[in-house]
Amino acid sequence: MSTNSDRFITAFNRIDHTLREIADVREFMPFYRLIERARRKNPLVQKYEDDLRAYADLRNAIVHHRTAIEFVIAEPHIQIVEEIEAIDAALAKPKLVGELFRKRVMVFQTTDSLTYMLKIIRRHKYTQFPVYMGQQFQGLITTVGITNWLATSMGKGNWSNRVTLQDILLHEKKSKNYKFISRSMTIYEAEEIFKQGVERGQRYEALLITEHGRPHHKLIGMVTPIDIMKVD
């Protein structure tokens, strides 16, 4: 029967192997430097960096201070074992946006009326609306863009089907409030895009998923910041 320390060391060694693949390292490299190298290429490593460093200290205590097969100076608690095994599984097989967020996305045409979109909002409570001209993507309308249009149009008496989504697109405060991503992107990479966007003053309202992240391909899913927050 394996002990907690056996399970811990096994998971640690698998993580070490995975980090070497991520960092493309074949020669010997201390685990701490390996973390530093891998975190530059993988946001999931960056997310678990502090935990991995702490586990490295525990691993050293177990391995280097073991005086007999049956004696371990630091036997990890079962919670620690389960946590490092969860990180091992996450690094080995990260969740992909194409798996979690693949769905039928309702798309609109620039010639569709605002009245039509408002009916969709009332019925489905959507807040982001991908807009095309034929097969060509034109932009992402949000409720903020609609509100901006309303604010500039009050009192003009132009509430009719003649107001199209092309008119609304012109009132989006930021025309590039989206980014196309590949279905094979990990959710952690997607999360990093949202974070970096905020840091750079470029807040993304949604990430639009296509097969290879190209705008002219069929839209197969969509991720919003709220979607990312709900993922464990």
pLDDT band at 18 (very low <50, low <70, confident <90, very high): very high
Mean pLDDT, to the nearest integer, of 224-228?
A: 92
pLDDT at 157 over 90: no
Helix, coil or strand: residue 134 = coil
Q: Residue 60: what pLDDT? A: 87
Transcribe 44-82 into DSSP letters: HHHHTHHHHHHHHHHHHHHHHT--BTTB-S----HHHHH
Q: Residue 71: what pLDDT? A: 52
Distance, CA of 42 to CA of 187 (rounded, Å): 11
Report which of residues 19 and 152 the model is more confident about.
19
Q: How many Cβ atoms sit within 10 Å of the Cβ of residue 131?
A: 22
Distance, CA of 202 to CA of 114 (rounded, Å): 26
Ramachandran bin of 15, using left for φ above 0, alpha for ψ from -120 to 50, beta for the remaining angles: alpha
For 94-131, write each residue's pLDDT tens digit.
999 999 999 999 999 999 999 999 999 999 988 999 99
The fold for domain 99-229 equals CBS-domain (3.10.580)
Distance, CA of 23 to CA of 173 (rounded, Å): 39
- Any idea where the domains of the chain sit in the sequence? 4-93, 99-229
Q: Residue 2: what pLDDT? A: 67
Please give, one letter per residue, the 3-state secondary structure of 6-31: HHHHHHHHHHHHHHHHHHCCCCCCCH
Mean pLDDT, to the nearest integer, of 14-31?
A: 93
